[in-house]
Amino acid sequence: MTLFDRVREIALVNSTGSILSWDQETYLPSGSADYRSAQLSYLAAHAHKLATSDDFLKALAEAEQTDDGSDPVRAANLRELRRESDRSVKLPTELVALESTAQSAGHHAWIAARKASDFSIFAPHLEKLVSIALEKSDLWGFAEEPYDALLEGFERGTSTAAIAVLFDALRKDLAPLSAAAVAQSAPLELPPEPYPVEIQQTFNALVAAEIGFDFHTGRIDTTAHPFCTTLGPRDVRLTTRYMESDFTSSLFGVMHEVGHGMYEQGLPDADYGLPSGSAVSLGIHESQSRLWENQVGRSPEFWEKFYPIAQGHFHQLKDFPLEKFLRHIHRTAFSPIRVEADEATYDLHIVLRFRIERMLLNREITIAQVPETWNDLFRESFGFVPPDDARGCLQDIHWSMGGIGYFPTYTLGNINAAQLFQAATTIPKISAATAKADYAPLLAWLRENIHRHGGTLDPTALMKQATGKPPSTEDYLQHLRSRYL
C-alpha cells in the first residue's frame, strides 16, 4: 500500500466519523448519545492507529527518500504529511487520552460555570487545560513562545509575534472606528414577524444556489449551532438556525456556511484526504465564509438584486424600502457577547481573547486573574464592563474544548476576506459583475487563486500570491470605514 493510499484510508475513516458527527448534531434521537460517542471514539482511535503505525511511518520515510522533487504538488504533500505526522508522533498516547478526559470534564464544568456565572467552577479545569497546552507546546517545540506551537495547529507558518503586530495595528484603528460606527448607527427593526421558516429555507436555498453552492454535492439542515462539515470529496453539509422574527439571521448564517462549503467544493476532488485536497488553514477557511457573508451578503449591490426577491417571499417587506432594510442590516452596537457582535465591532472581541490566551500561555497572568484581566481589557476597548462573567470570560466554548489558539483565525478570516475581495474586484470584469450581483466571476477567481491550491502553500504565501501582499489590515479597515462611517 503506497503512502498516499494510506493517507486516503485515514481520510476515509475520518470522513466516516464526520458522517456520525453530522448525524449526531442533526437527527440523532436524544436517547442515543452514549453509543454514538462509542462509535466516534472507535473510529478516532482506528484513524490514529493507522496514522501512527510503523507501516505508515515507513511508507512516509520511503516516499521522502525516493521523491525527486520534480512534482511540486507531491513535494508539498510530503512536506505537509511529515509536519502532521511529526506533530502526532510527538504526543504520547497517555497525554492525548489525558487531554481528551480533561476536555470532557472541562466542557461539563464550563456549562455549569456559565450557568451559575461562577468562574471558580471552571478555574481548576482551565488550569489543567492550560498545563496540557503548555506540555504539548514543549513536546512540539516553538521558536519564541509556547503559543507559537498551538497556533501552528490552526494557522500554520505564522507566529504569535506576527499576529500580535497585525492585531495591535488593527486595534489601534478599530477602537475609534467602531466607537464612531456605534455612535452613528441608526438601527431600524424589520416589519413584524412571522418570517415563516419554510419560506426562509426557500429563499436561503435560492441565494445559496445563485452565489454558487452546488446542491448536487451538498445540502443544508437545521441545528442549534450552525456549522459546515465535509463527509466526502463531493458531500458538503451546512446547517443553520432560524428566527421567525428576522429572516436575515438564517440568511447571513447560510451565506457564511456557503462560503466554507464552496471552498470545500472547490478543493481538488481527486486529492481528497491529501494535503493538496484539503483546506490549508482556519484563517483561510474563515476568509471564504466572511467574504460571502459580509463583503458580498451585506453589500448594497447584493441587495439591489435580492431585496425585491426577498419582498416577493416575505410580504410584510412590501412597503419597507431598501434604504431602511440596509440600515437594519448595517446596525452596529457594542455587545458583551462575541457571537452577537456585528461586523464593525467583532474583531475587538477576538483581539481581547488573543491577548489573554497569550498572557496565560506565557504565565504572565494566573488562571484566577482571568476574569479581572478580561474585564480590564474589555473596558479598554468597549468602554464598559460585562455585567457578569457568564457574559464575560465564560461566554465561549473554545477553551473548555482545549481550543486555545483558535480565536485569532476569526480575525485573520476577516482581514483575508477584505483583502481577497479587494484584489478580485480590482479586476474590471469582476467588479462589473459584482456591481450587478453576478458572482460567478468572483467565485471563479477564488477557485483559481485559493480553492484549487488546497494545502500546498502556507496561508501567508497563498495570500501573497493571490493579492500581492501578506495579510494586512488596510483593506479591511478601508472596507469597514466605507461601510460604517
The three cell numbers locating residue 420: 481577497
Asked if 235 interacts with a copy of itself (CB under 8 A), we say yes
The three cell numbers locating residue 335: 455587545
Asked if 36 interacts with a copy of itself (CB under 8 A), we say yes
**Which residue shows C-alpha cell 432560524?**
242
| Secondary structure string (H, E, C) spanning 373-398 | HHHHHHHHHHCCCCCCHHHCCCCCCH
CB atoms within 10 A of CB 153: 17
Report the residue from 4, 23, 164, 377 that binds a copy of itself according to the rule CB under 8 A.
23
Report the residue from 3, 7, 43, 443 that binds a copy of itself according to the rule CB under 8 A.
43
Q: In the 8-state DSSP scheme, what is residue 244?
A: T
**Shortest distance (Å) from residue 14 CB to a copy of itself:** 11
Side chain identity, residue 344: A
Asked if 384 interacts with a copy of itself (CB under 8 A), we say no
Side-chain half-sphere exposure of 272, counting CA atoms within 13 A = 18
Side-chain half-sphere exposure of 270, counting CA atoms within 13 A = 3
Asked if 232 interacts with a copy of itself (CB under 8 A), we say yes
**Which residue shows C-alpha cell 463531493?**
234
Cα–Cα distance for residue pair 192/228, rounded to 1 Å: 30
Report the residue from 4, 10, 19, 431 that binds a copy of itself according to the rule CB under 8 A.
19
**Sign of the CA dihedral running 80, 84, 89, 91:** positive
- Which residue in 99, 155, 257, 343 is the catalytic one? 257
Asked if 25 interacts with a copy of itself (CB under 8 A), we say no
Asked if 107 interacts with a copy of itself (CB under 8 A), we say no
**Shortest distance (Å) from residue 46 CB to a copy of itself:** 8
Cα–Cα distance for residue pair 335/339, rounded to 1 Å: 9
- Give the residue with the Cβ less far from a copy of itself, 84 or 235: 235
Asked if 29 interacts with a copy of itself (CB under 8 A), we say yes
Side chain identity, residue 456: T
- Give the residue with the Cβ less far from a copy of itself, 231 or 258: 231
Asked if 38 interacts with a copy of itself (CB under 8 A), we say yes
**Shortest distance (Å) from residue 451 CB to a copy of itself:** 17
Annotate each residue in 265-304 with x if it binds a copy of itself (CB under 8 A) or - if it does not, as one string: -------x--------------------------------
**Shortest distance (Å) from residue 277 CB to a copy of itself:** 12
Is 364 one of the catalytic residues? Answer: no
Cα–Cα distance for residue pair 407/240, rounded to 1 Å: 21
Pair 292, 256: CB distance under 8 Å: yes
CB atoms within 10 A of CB 414: 27
**Shortest distance (Å) from residue 378 CB to a copy of itself:** 42
**Shortest distance (Å) from residue 32 CB to a copy of itself:** 4
- Give the residue with the Cβ less far from a copy of itself, 13 or 430: 13
- Give the residue with the Cβ less far from a copy of itself, 29 or 69: 29
Asked if 388 interacts with a copy of itself (CB under 8 A), we say no
Report the residue from 4, 10, 25, 28 that binds a copy of itself according to the rule CB under 8 A.
28
Q: Spell out the residues 6+ positions from residue 120 whose beta carbon is closer than 8 angstroms to its own.
A: 113
- Give the residue with the Cβ less far from a copy of itself, 217 or 249: 217
Report the residue from 31, 176, 192, 428 that binds a copy of itself according to the rule CB under 8 A.
31
Identify which range of 13-21, 124-132, 169-177, 239-247 contacts a copy of itself by CB under 8 A.
13-21
Asked if 35 interacts with a copy of itself (CB under 8 A), we say yes
Side-chain half-sphere exposure of 214, counting CA atoms within 13 A = 13
Nearest to 187, CA basis, from 329, 382, 29, 385: 329
Asked if 45 interacts with a copy of itself (CB under 8 A), we say no
Q: What is the dihedral of CA 87, 92, 97, 100, to 10 degrees?
A: -30
Asked if 48 interacts with a copy of itself (CB under 8 A), we say no
**Shortest distance (Å) from residue 236 CB to a copy of itself:** 8
Pair 227, 277: CB distance under 8 Å: no
DSSP string, 56-89: HHHHHHHHHHH--S--HHHHHHHHHHHHHHHHHH
- Site residues for a copy of itself, window 236-265 (CB under 8 A)? 236
**Shortest distance (Å) from residue 388 CB to a copy of itself:** 35
In the sheet with 228-232, reading across from the earlier edge strand, the strands are 218-222, 235-240, 228-232
What are the catalytic residues? 257
Interface contacts to a copy of itself, rule CB under 8 A? 9, 12-13, 15-16, 19-20, 23, 27-32, 34-36, 38-39, 42-43, 214-219, 221, 231-236, 272
